[in-house]
Structure 1
């Protein structure tokens, strides 16, 4: 069984999120998703997500392509998560290209192209204009 793991905030869920999760699942037999906690999101982006970590986890958990979900509390714990969840493949969006190559010693790292013309920031900005 090939275990695939990916991580994200998944705030204001959109087609880009669904696409990367679906493509990640197709790389293996079991998809594990780490959902960034509210505090981790704030630390990375200097703002809290629109939806709470529990709401975002529930959304991701409800998807057919996802087998297991957990809270990611820190980027510094990434290696621990890969080992704890016995991942074979780490999938990240290509905006992170090269940043997780250091984990090639324990997993295969794959960077997938992001869905063009969509981002959570853009969705939030569109909503604010309306």
Structure 2
């Protein structure tokens, strides 16, 4: 039986942490589906639009060799995503592990035969940190060695 995996993300300012997550996810499934968050959903959830527009982020992720299929993520409803895609495993960063929301999702998904697999979050590189550095450069601020 073909194991279908699913993960989501904004994938703004694509970096090695994104690549490592997708590579590791593909090792644990036969077919990897990636939901890329729309600009509107990102703005609604985080209060800011991504630096890279949605269509370009979709294209970047589509061209990663570990990714078999890319779909837009227009809302945060993971059960709705499962209803549409019927994945067997969902991959997510371990920064969510143990939270009330994800504990409830684990129970809901267990009833559907879906396993949630948590991967270590890449702490040294993130799109948020990259965005901060870009803003400093745009504002003419100096950048310390550890921020590069």
In structure 2, the partner of 1:64 is: 65
Gaps of 5+ in 1: none
Q: Provide the aligned C-alpha RMSD in A.
A: 1.1
SS in 2 for 1:111: strand
Give the aligned partner of residue 124 of structure 2.
117
Return the alpha-carbon distance in structure 1 between the equivalents of residues 52 and 123 of structure 2: 23
The equivalent of 2:93 in structure 1 is 93
1:104 aligns with 2:85: no
**What residue number does 1:45 align with?**
46
2:140 is matched with: none
TM-score (norm 1): 0.94
- 1:43 is paired with a residue of what secondary structure? helix
With a CA cutoff of 8 Å and minimum separation of 6, indicate the structure with the bigger relative contact order: 1
Segments of 5+ residues of structure 2 without an aligned counterpart are 138-148
Aligned to 1:9: 10
Residue 126 (structure 1) shift:
1.6
Q: CA deviation at 1:129?
A: 2.4
Report which stretch shifted further, 91-100 or 28-37. Answer: 91-100
TM-score (norm 2): 0.83
